[in-house]
Chains A and B, each alone.
Chain A
Amino acid sequence: MPERYIKRILDGDKEAFRFIIGECQDAAYNLSISILKDDMLAKEAIQKAFIRAYEKLHTFKHRSTFKTWFHRIVVNEAFQLSRKSKNNRNSPHNLPANYESSKNEIQKGIDENHMQHYVHQALDVMKPNECLSLRLFYLEEHSIEEIIDITGWSKSNVKVTLHRARKSMKTILSEKFNMKPEELYL
């Protein structure tokens, strides 16, 4: 848990921040890639988020978990970068031709890698907000209240975005890959 390193960092042990980076970088990457859809931009957002977290660590009052607090910073940095770069390369439901899979291929059997591949492709073409809400809720297992805290959206907005996200993913998986979500997890 990063909480145990916070006091050490505030006491001047800078190196303890390495542990926080190690523990939080994968989640930060998953969240920022949801919004930015680009590896290099995601990296930039993560770097900025970690520096900001280090700079503002003394303001962390333990009102929420460190994970929620840090994810709010990551999401803010990613949205800021997204606005700056106007990165609208991937419009939703607009898969490149090479993402198309033939039905025959799918029917050969879906192993773990296939499943990951299809879910990644689906997430990649989803709207940033929808992708982010799915990852926050199902992957990082944040509650609705925590998602409100992280994103700054209203409760109804979070619920609607989550609903739309589930619907979008089902649509993408069934339309583009000709499969239902259940089929991916057999």
Chain B
Amino acid sequence: MSLKNQHEDELFRKLLGSSRMKMPFSGLEDEIMAEIEQFDDQKETIRLSYKRGLQFAGVFFMIGLICGLILTTLIPKLEFSIAGLDNSFLLVFYQTVFAITVLLFIEKLYLHWKRLKEL
């Protein structure tokens, strides 16, 4: 850096240093803290409602899982056919759909649970 540039930098540093302004609003600190308080209250309300929703989702997921497992054990014991397809084929079809649904729901529940942790 040349001497001229150094001098110029020093000069601008002094000029700008003298232009430093103080915050003209005296009550700003309290206003911000009040807003933060409000923000935290709202966040807590949202967190609680999210938690409740997630608990409900968990309960219904367990109910669905139990019902699905019962059906899985029941289908081979029942002798029936739909549209010419026997129950062994229907069991495979049902178990595939059931497994995919369970995995998708587990993933969704995990993502919501992670989000709840972040709140």
A residues whose Cβ falls under 8 Å from a Cβ of B: 14-15, 17-18, 21-22, 25-26, 28-30, 33, 39, 43, 46-47, 50-51, 54-55, 112, 115-116, 119-120, 123, 134-135, 138-139, 141, 166, 169, 181-182, 184-185
- Taking CB atoms, residues of chain A closer than 8 Å to B28 are 21, 25, 43, 46-47
CA distance A123 to B8 in the complex (A): 17
Shortest CB–CB separation between residue B36 and chain A, in angstroms? 5
Collect the chain B residues with CB atoms within 8 Å of residue A184's CB: 15
Contact across chains for B12 and A181 when beta carbons are under 8 A apart: yes
| Cβ-defined contact, B39 with A120, below 8 A | no
Binding site secondary structure of chain A? helix
CB neighbours of A182 from chain B (8 A): 11
- Give every chain B residue within 8 A of A26 (Cβ-Cβ): 20-23
Across the interface, do B20 and A21 meet the contact criterion of CB distance under 8 Å? no
Q: How far, in angstroms, from A132 to B56 measured CA to CA in the complex?
A: 51
Tell me whether B39 and A139 are in contact (CB under 8 A): no
**Is B35 in the interface zone, CB < 8 Å from A?**
yes
Beyond known contacts A14-B37, A139-B16: 8 more, CB 8 A cutoff: A17-B33, A26-B20, A43-B25, A51-B35, A120-B21, A135-B16, A166-B12, A182-B11
Segment 22-43 of B: residues with Cβ below 8 Å from A: 22-25, 28-29, 31-33, 35-37, 39-40
CB distance from B30 to the nearest CB of A (A): 9
